Structures are given as C-alpha cells and as structure tokens.
Structure 1
Amino acid sequence: MRIVFMGTPDFAVPSLQALIDAGHEVCAVYTQPDKPQGRKQVLTAPPVKALALAQGIPVFQPNTLKNEDEQAQLRTLAPELIVVVAYGKLLPKAVLEIPPRGCINVHGSLLPRWRGAAPIQWAVIAGDKTAGVTTMQMTEGLDTGDMLLKFETEIGARETAGELFDRLAAAGAELLTDTIVKLDTITPQPQDDSQSCYASMLNKELAVVDWSKTAREIDCLIRGLNPWPVALSMLTGERIKLYSATPCEGRGTPGEVLKSDPKSGLVVACGEGALRLDDIQLVGGKRMDSAAFLRGHAVAAGTVLGE
C-alpha cells in the first residue's frame, strides 16, 4: 500500500521500520523540525527522520499542516493511507480527508484511557496495573477516533516508563501491520468518552516529589518519570534526582531520613510508609546507588528532604 508516515520520537521508529519490512510503499515521512538538544543546544534531527533518510525516503518537516501549500504538497504524494505515530501535531480536516483509506493512529494507551501526549508515563505514574497500544481511525479530536485493534500488557511491579515505552513501541509496530492487513474486516469500535482521561505533557514542575504522599504514589512517580524528566527533591540544600526507589516499612515526618547507612543506603519517610532510595544523582554529579552516595556525602538521620 502507498503510505505517508507521520511520526517523530523513538516510539515511532519501530512502526516505520515495520511498514518498510512489510513491503509497503512509504512514499514520504513527515516529522517535526530539527530541534536544539542538550547543554550545547546542538540542532538534532528526530529519530524518525534518521531512519527515513537511511532508507532513502523523502522527509518533510513543516511547522504546520494547516497551510494550504503544505496540504497541496501532501495531495501530490497521493497516499492511499496516512499512518500517524507520535507525530506531535493534530491533523486538520483537510489532511484527514486526503487518503482514500483514511488516517490510522498508533496510540500508546488502552483508549479511551490516557488520551494525550504522555500516555505511557501517566499509566505508570497513576499506578495502573495494565497498559497497551490502540490503533484507531483518526478524527479531528484528540485521540477520539474509533478504535480498531488493541494490545494489552501488565505493567511490571518495578518497571519504569522508559522500559514500558520500549516494549509498547515494539508492540505498536506489530499491531500496526496487523491492523493494515485486517483493515477491510475490522469493525471500528466507538470510544466511551466517559471513561477517558488526559495524559498531559510532562514537565519539571511535576517532577518535584511531595513526600506527604504515600510510598507507593511516590514510587510510581519516580518510575513514571524515568528516564525523563526524572523525579527531583532537595537534600541538604542541593537538588537530587531520584531514578529508582523501593517501598519499605518505616514511619516519620514526610521527607525525613529514617536511616542513613553507607552499607544499605538511605530510607526516607513518606506520608504513609517509607522508601529506600536505590538510584540517585546530585544534579551535576554522578548517578549511583544511595549507599555509594553516602560513602562520599554525610547525611544525618533526621535530615528532611524537600526543605
């Protein structure tokens, strides 16, 4: 099938590769413009662009698809189908109407739960037991189209958003190719809007740990924000990143260091229960387990994180 692919981050790469491997004619790839990244703000191409160029596929990076010239360019490509995977832009009605087979989206959640920009991370943050991928027919709304196929999986007890992200990216690619094969036989299922919730974009304000929450809630936040933007707190006047922690027994003032042992690490009280900090990093320092951290930094029991 002649397909235009629209996607930007790592999550979309396996889906593009799957279309190529399945023998579809990917006539063009649309992706977000290159953006500065890192401390040195080096202009960097999106991962999808890198794969497309390596495969000799034409790449388009418009700032908007609302422009009539961009829409005319897309029509000249004459796609039978448009596939969208984490593109990062809503498609206007004029674009949705171009391909005769419609537009299919691969979304990283079990719709209608977690519509929006960061569904995988929010599933972990919220403590969901399962996550998944849904293919759907695209409409003008935000992830509101009729559902086609679903893949569901349990979220591991210690799984981070990054780990789940990788698993669902691979599952989404397989689900996409299966959806295209079965496109003429699938009965689309409308979403129940009353069951929907919104997965907003992540930001560094969300990353600041509120130690008055339960140990489980904070653990889910830490895993959901790994690898980005990473949970944050203050320790003895310095910002500290929290990459992983384990709920354990303990009681004290929220944020209070209950145990500080160079052999077993830091244990911090939460609003309910406590957390052993496993993998931490002073901002600007090296990432390490908290026991190793204590061998180079003195932290007295009774110290309160977040102050």
Structure 2
Amino acid sequence: MKIIFMGTPDFAVPSLKALIESHYDVICVVTQKDKPKGRGYKVVPTPVKEYAMSQGIMVLQPERLSREPETIEKIRELNPDLIVTCAFGQILPDSLLAIPRYGTINVHGSLLPKYRGAAPIQWAVINGETKTGITTMLTDSGLDTGDMLLKAEIDIPDDMTAGELHDRMSLLGAETLIKTLKKLEEGTLVPVPQDDSQATLAPRITRDTGRIDWSASARNIHNLIRGTTPWPGAFAFLDGQKVRIWRSAVGEDRSDTGEKPDPGTIIGLDKEAMTVQAGEGIVRVFEIQVESNKRMTPYQYSLGHELKIGMKLTPYEAE
C-alpha cells in the first residue's frame, strides 16, 4: 500500500515512524513550511520534515494546498493508495481528498465529536476532563467532521500538564493508526458517523489563553495552568512584572466565614508553596518564573525580591 503522510509537529512524528517501522510504503511526506524559531529566529525544519529526511523520504512543503494545484497534481502523479494525516495544520481541498483509492485517514487527538479543531489536548486539560483519547477518522472537507474509525481512551490525572498528555497521546495515536490500517487491509473497518449535536470545538491556543482570571474557581485556575504548560504558559502580573506559573494544585480553603481577601491576593508563603486566593477556593503555587529570571519556587524568589503575604496578583499589568 503506497501512503502519503501529511503532518507537521512533534505530535505527528510517532505516527510517521510507526508507518515506516510497520513496513508500509511511505512514498512522500507533506508538511508545513519551515519557520523561524527561538531567540535568534533561525529557520528550522518541521519535526516531521526532519524525521522524513533522516529516512530518505521525499518531502513537499506547500504554503497552502487549496491554492497550489501544481502540488495536488504532483500528489496525483504519485498515485497513493492512502493519505494519512496527523496534525498537518491545513484543511484539505476536495481535489486532494479524491485522489487516494482508500481515502484519507486522520489521527485526531480527542474522542470525537468532542474537541474538533487545532488544540484538542490543551482544551481537554483546561476544561478539566478526566479522560480523552485518540480517534482515527475518514477525512472530509469539514473541520474534523468525518466518519470515525477507531478510538482509544487515556486518563488525565489531576496533576498532568498538557505537555505530558501530548507526549502520551502522540504514542497512542501511532498505535491506534497501525491498528486502523490493519483493519483496513482486513476489510473490517466500520465507519461511524459523528453526532454533530455532541460536537465541541477546540480553537487554536494563543499567548493570551494563559492569562489568569483570579476571580475564577481554584479548580479552573489550576486546570488553566496545567493546560497551558508548556506553551504559552499561564501568567499574571505582580507589581507590573509578568509572572508565569508552571506548577500548582487546588488547596483546601480553611478560611473562616469572615470576609475573604480579594481574588489574586497572596495569603500564604512558605518553603513549599505560595497560596493565592481564588474566587472560590485557593491555589497552591509551587513554581513561578518572573520575567528576566529562571523558574524557581516562590520562596526562592522571595529571598532576593519583594514577595510577601498581602501582595496581589492581577490579570493585567496595571489594575
């Protein structure tokens, strides 16, 4: 079976690797354009391109497939039996989907129809889900709307970050993909239409997604911190300085029935953690990073900087 693989980030590499190691004939890889990265803005290849080149596989990098008929024609000439996509990053035009005789199979990082879109892993954590998973699906011209093929579930522990879940999900995606292709070859795949009434969206994460609203519940704040780690990072401001918060937990609110401090107020600081009042409950903060400093515990930061009980973390630089 001749396969064209389409993917871009780290998440897609295990699926490509699994295809190659399972002796499928990957004849071409399609990935996004190389982009500047890091402080020096050095142009670097996508993770999928880097791995494909190490395996001697031809790579195509269209700017936008829907506007490049010459790339689609090149894919047509390659005459693939199947296209496999995994976090490619573009909606595929109908002219491309019509090429492979077995269609196009996508590896998606959620239990569809929940979390259709660009960031299903992050939003599952931000929204406090306790389970998520991988769905392989037949790709159509919609946004993750095609018929479902196989599903595999994974638990989300209360302390797991989106980055940690991402790494486990990428391996589960590869495993589920190979199971799907084996069933395809056996003729035992049974596509199941999605129930659109149950669909939820997982839009692209932006830098502002990590902004902490301290009037939210401690549980929601903790989930936001987990769900935006490692990128873009949850953040607040303290005396005009941006503070990223990397590790947290929901604490037990032992305050009496008297008036509570304003949300965002630091109500405790010891060698283990900084305790912050939320709109409902308290947040225990174990690791922070104030701009121009490295990651450290709040107590370590307090040894050389002003950080004390009664100070207030805010969503914006000036409030």
TM-score, with length taken from structure 1: 0.98
1:136 is aligned to 137
Rounded to whole Å, the distance in 2 between the matches of 1:103 and 1:283 is: 45
The residue correspondences of 1:94-105 to structure 2 (distance < 5 A) are 94-105=95-106
The one-letter amino acid paired with 1:2 is K
- Equivalent position of 1:22 in the other structure: 22
Long gaps (5+) in structure 1: none
The residue aligned with 2:205 is 202
Count of matched residue positions in the alignment of Structure 1 and Structure 2: 306
1:252 to 253, 258, 261: 261
What are the Cα deviations for residues 183-230 of structure 1, in whole angstroms up to 9, with x where unaligned?
121111000001111101111121110000000000000000000000
- 1:298 pairs with 2:306: yes
Which consecutive aligned stretches of 4+ in structure 1 deviate over 2 angstroms post-superposition?
A: 249-252
Shift of the alpha carbon at 1:300? 2.3
Distance, in Å, in 1 between the alignment partners of 2:152 and 2:65 is 30
Q: Are the counterparts in 2 of residues 260 and 294 from structure 1 also a CA contact under 8 Å? A: no
Q: Give the superposition deviation at 1:249.
A: 2.4
Supply the AA of the counterpart residue of 2:37. Q
Aligned AA (1:39): R
Identify the range of structure 1 (274-283 vs 244-253) with the bigger mean alpha-carbon deviation. 244-253
> Which residue in 2 is equivalent to 1:122?
123
Separation in structure 1 between the aligned mates of residue 37 and residue 297 of structure 2, nearest angstrom: 27
Instruction: Tell me which residue corresponds to 1:88.
Output: 89
- Whole-angstrom CA distance in 2 between matches of 1:24 and 1:284: 48
Hey, what does 2:256 align to over in structure 1? none
Specify the code of the residue in structure 2 equivalent to 1:5: F
Deviations 1:91-146 (A, max 9, x none): 00000000001000000000000000000000000001101000000100000000
Give the alignment partner of residue 281 of structure 2, picking from 273, 289, 303: 273
1:293 counterpart SS class: helix
Compared CA separation, residues 295 and 265, structure 1 to 2 (3 A): farther
Give the 5 Å matches for 1:1-307.
1-66=1-66, 67-183=68-184, 184-250=187-253, 251-261=260-270, 263-306=271-314, 307=319
Residue identity opposite 1:23 in structure 2? H
Matched position secondary structure for 2:172: helix
For 1:163 and 1:46, how far apart are their aligned partners in 2? 20
TM-score (norm 2): 0.94
Q: What CA distance in whole angstroms lies between the structure 2 residues aligned with 1:120 and 1:291?
A: 32
Percent of pairs with identical residues: 48
> What secondary structure, in the 3-state scheme, does the structure 2 residue paired with 1:148 have?
strand
User: Larger deviation: 184-193 or 249-258?
Assistant: 249-258
Q: Which moved more, 1:140-149 or 1:71-80?
A: 71-80
Q: CA RMSD in A?
A: 0.9
